[in-house]
């Protein structure tokens, strides 16, 4: 019969040893030496791929460009004195503050609202789908989305459509008078006649520079305006260009179209006394009050068409790239938050409603506090992610705006592998990125331990 001591020894995970003492086993019965043997390949890989690169980067960050001489803290000083690298530091700060917060807020909003609609699952699927796309592909997609030309860029196509709905665009943006004609440039891009117009003498306003496909729909061949005897001012505004050549300069020829809709103003002493628009055949008529005044074609006729927003210009390139990041990662935040929301006790929500709380109060005082651990996980994960953002910035930002969109990971690449490579500065940037990640990782580990102790 086994003794109580031997039974206790077995329960404690020890076995008798041949030479006395006891050999400790793990709870799975694995000897420590065997466990170390299994862990050795992983430890070797960890040392070769993580520990050694970190150590060498730290060492290299104290050397000069060639790597032969000690540079001290010179490379770190350059990080905070070079304008290009300072822009990268500032942009990284914007990314860390804005992108994780906005993505988490969007994920929370989507997770809460999709619980209230029947097609919530389909919506979640659509929002999460961008996560299946690589950063490279997403960068190419949004480089096209942000194209300046509204005919290619979706963002500007929508923006220009909305703008043109409320603001009338110019009909003849590139039109100009024939050289030698009495129409002369005026302030603000308008054109005005050199001499006052008189009743009974039809005015001719020939223009060129309007492409054939840019003519207004419904424009008809121009014709000479009649000379009325009631004091009115009449005239013709037309495109003085005959297809195939020929025709007489500054004269209405057969087949030359009228400038339908062009605005003509009669100006006397700087004051507009009458306004009219040309008919489909280019003819127009002004009341007798216009007699003796100058005719002006206002700049609104020739204003360049609205071409949208310069999304990838120096001032908007970083917010534009953050927008593409949100498109990708809001679905990730939504899925994690939705999983946490599914675990929230419904009795607490119903109890708050019974106590008289409205939906906003339930959301702010009950739902969000209960989701705080999940929100912290999402926020920290996205903060770590944006600290090393590289792909989207490198692909979306054009060469002319890349310095304005610069971030530390991109600057690390440019300093280490660019045409003017400085491995010392590149290594210093790598060490700086590591130092920025460590506090976030420490916070995450402390939070996980605190959750485990509960």
Question: For the CA atoms of the chain, what is the radius of gyration?
Answer: 37
Nearest-CA neighbor of 127 among 332, 320, 340, 324?
Answer: 332
Predicted confidence (pLDDT) per residue in 356-365, tens digit: 888 899 999 9
Predicted confidence (pLDDT) per residue in 57-87, tens digit: 999 999 988 888 898 898 999 988 889 899 9
Q: What are the E-state strand segments in 251-317?
A: 263-268, 271-277, 283-286, 294-297
Beta bridge partners of 23: 15
CA distance 397 to 392: 8
Torsion angle of alpha carbons 384, 386, 390, 391, nearest 10°? 110
Mean pLDDT within 100-119: 91
CA distance 378 to 368: 13
Q: What are the E-state strand segments in 152-196?
A: 176-177, 183-185, 191-193
CB atoms within 10 A of CB 436: 18
According to the model, what pLDDT value does residue 431 have?
Answer: 92
Indicate whether this model's pTM tops 0.75: no
Mean pLDDT within 94-123: 92
DSSP for 418-450, written as a single string: STT--HHHHHHHHHHHHHHHHHHHHHHHHHHHH
CA distance 87 to 431: 18
CA-to-CA separations, 409 to 31, 53, 140, in angstroms, rounded: 44, 16, 19
Helix (H, G, I), strand (E, B) or coil at 195: coil
Predicted confidence (pLDDT) per residue in 12-58, tens digit: 444 444 444 555 555 555 677 888 888 899 999 999 998 999 999 99
Cβ(119)–Cβ(113) under 8 Å? no
According to the model, what pLDDT value does residue 15 have?
Answer: 46
Contacts of the segment 58-63: beta carbons below 8 A, 24+ positions apart: 58/427, 58/431, 60/423, 60/424, 60/427, 61/424, 61/427, 61/428, 61/430, 61/431, 62/424, 63/423, 63/424
442: which residues sit within 8 A by CB, 6+ positions away? none
- Please indicate whether residue 91 or residue 8 has the higher confidence score (pLDDT): 91
């Amino acid at each position: 019969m086994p003794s109580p001591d031997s039974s206790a020894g077995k329960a404690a995970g020890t076995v008798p040893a041949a030479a006395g003492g006891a050999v400790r086993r793990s709870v799975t019965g694995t000897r420590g030496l065997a466990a170390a043997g299994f862990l050795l390949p992983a430890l070797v890989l960890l040392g070769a791929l993580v520990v050694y690169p970190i150590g060498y980067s730290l060492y290299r960050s104290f050397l000069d460009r060639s790597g032969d001489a000690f540079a001290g803290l010179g490379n770190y000083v350059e990080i905070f004195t070079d304008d290009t690298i300072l822009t990268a530091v500032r942009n990284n700060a914007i990314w860390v503050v804005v992108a994780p917060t906005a993505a988490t807020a969007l994920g929370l909003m989507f997770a809460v609202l999709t619980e209230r609609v029947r097609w919530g699952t389909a919506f979640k699927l659509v929002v999460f789908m961008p996560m299946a796309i690589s950063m490279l592909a997403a960068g190419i997609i949004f480089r096209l989305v942000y194209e300046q030309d509204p005919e290619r860029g979706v963002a500007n196509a929508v923006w220009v459509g909305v703008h043109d709905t409320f603001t009338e665009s110019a009909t003849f943006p590139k039109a100009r008078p024939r050289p030698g004609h009495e129409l002369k440039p005026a302030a603000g891009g308008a054109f005005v006649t050199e001499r006052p117009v008189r009743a009974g003498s039809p005015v001719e306003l020939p223009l060129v520079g309007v492409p054939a496909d840019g003519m207004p729909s419904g424009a008809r061949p121009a014709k000479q305006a009649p000379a009325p005897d009631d004091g009115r001012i009449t005239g013709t505004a037309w495109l003085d260009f005959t297809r195939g050549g020929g025709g007489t300069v500054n004269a209405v020829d057969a087949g030359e179209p009228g400038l339908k809709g062009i605005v003509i103003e009669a100006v006397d002493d700087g004051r507009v006394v009458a306004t009219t628009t040309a008919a489909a055949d280019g003819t127009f008529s002004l009341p007798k009050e216009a007699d003796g005044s100058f005719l002006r074609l206002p700049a609104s006729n020739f204003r360049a068409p609205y071409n949208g927003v310069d999304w990838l210009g120096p001032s908007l390139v970083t917010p534009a790239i953050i927008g593409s990041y949100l498109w990708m990662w809001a679905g990730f935040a939504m899925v994690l938050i939705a999983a946490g929301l599914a675990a929230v006790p419904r009795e607490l929500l119903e109890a708050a409603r019974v106590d008289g709380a409205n939906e906003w109060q339930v959301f702010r005082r009950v739902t969000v506090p209960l989701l705080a651990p999940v929100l912290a996980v999402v926020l920290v994960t996205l903060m770590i992610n944006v600290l090393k953002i590289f792909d989207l910035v490198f692909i979306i930002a054009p060469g002319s705006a890349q310095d304005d969109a610069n971030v530390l990971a991109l600057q690390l690449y440019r300093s280490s592998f660019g045409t003017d490579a400085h491995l010392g500065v590149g290594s210093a940037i790598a060490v700086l990125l590591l130092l920025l990640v460590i506090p976030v990782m420490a916070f995450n580990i402390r939070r996980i331990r605190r959750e485990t102790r509960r």
